[in-house]
Amino acid sequence: MANVEAMAAGLPVATTSLEDIRTYLTNGHNGLLARVGDPRDLADKLAMVLENPQLRRQLGQQAREDVRATFTWDEQARRLERFCYETFDLDEPKSTRESQPISTTG
């Protein structure tokens, strides 16, 4: 979660290339990914960000744009729902109709 928060703040992220991180961070596009278990590679990625202000701005700006487009409330609700169905081995609801708000007029 800290990576996504940093990205939302427009900060460049350099981290290890774990599978779940690769779902939202693309090496060289909106952050830098180092090989898992390779501290030298991570140090090199951090040095790249620290030594190159233009790269730092570019990665940070793209990260912010990507987070704003990807991590909407609706998308997070869908992800949570999917997680619950998978985790608790639940059947998907039969209806594909989107729910509508209950009328408050009477």
pLDDT at 75: 86
Domain ranges of the chain: 2-73
Superfamily of domain 2-73: Glycogen Phosphorylase B; (3.40.50.2000)
pLDDT at 91: 84
pLDDT at 48: 98
pTM of the model: 0.70
**Are the C-beta atoms of 33 and 22 separated by less than 8 Å?**
yes
Across the range 43-61, mean pLDDT stands at 98
Report the mean per-residue pLDDT for the chain. Answer: 90
CA nearest neighbour of 67 among 57, 76, 55, 78? 76
